[in-house]
Amino acid sequence: MKNVITLYLNNTRMKFSIPFFLIVLLIFASSATAQDMSSTKAEFKEFTQGMSGRFQSDIKLIHDWPGNDKKKGDRISGIFVGKMIADGEGLICTNAAGTGIGTEIFLYNAASRQIECTGVDNGGTIWHLTVWKKSSTRWNWNLKGALGTGEKITGTGYWKIEGNGEKIALISDNFIIDGKKADPLHDKFVRVNK
């Protein structure tokens, strides 16, 4: 005897085999739990306001990054500068720490309704982020990219922007380099000037 589920919809009797019913149930469950990474233009403006200015950085390296003479576990410090460009339509950020320097640009994509970022550093590492607001102080990101030596990088994490943008933390416990989980990322930035 075949396992069958019988449903009634508008007085119409419908029979489904259990495997079919489970597949439909799983599809609905997975779409209900998928993360909404969309943003509004107002949220983009809020994010860029918090990231604009000059910050002193305190960074613990989670990898032997190409282009940086320090090694995994070493601490470096430097300056992070975020500046609005194109009449407020974009944010360009430069992070110079140790012997490394990286630049990224944040934009609002009206078609996808997402905050997007593309970046590169002096070691040839490139990355693309999608950013979205999780709470008033937390901005989640999803990362895909590659080291200059070809290894893929992926990850998820967030920026925690506190005290009206006076402090920023860059946090991830899910940073993958060449298929291996990296140490936790917890870089700190303290505003020195708007």
Radius of gyration of the chain (CA): 22
Strands 100-109 and 53-60: what pairing? unpaired
- Per-residue pLDDT at 10: 55
Weakest mean pLDDT among 14-18, 110-114, 134-138: 14-18
Q: Could you please report the per-residue DSSP string of 6-43?
A: EEEETTEEEEEEHHHHHHHHHHHHHHHHS------HHH
Query: For the segment 23-79, what is each residue's pLDDT rounded down to a tens digit?
Result: 443 444 333 345 789 999 999 999 999 999 999 999 999 999 998 899 999 999 999
Domain layout of the chain by residue ranges: 4-33, 41-193
- Per-residue pLDDT at 15: 57
Residues 186 and 128: their CA atoms lie apart, in Å, by: 19
Query: For the segment 148-188, what is each residue's pLDDT rounded down to a tens digit?
Result: 999 999 999 999 999 988 999 999 999 999 999 999 999 99
Residues 121 and 154: their CA atoms lie apart, in Å, by: 16
Please tell me the class of the 41-193 domain: mainly beta
Instruction: Answer yes or no: is pLDDT of 21 > 70.
Output: no
Q: State mean pLDDT over 101-115.
A: 98
6's tokens: 């019988």
Residue 107 one-letter amino acid: L
Q: State mean pLDDT over 135-144.
A: 96
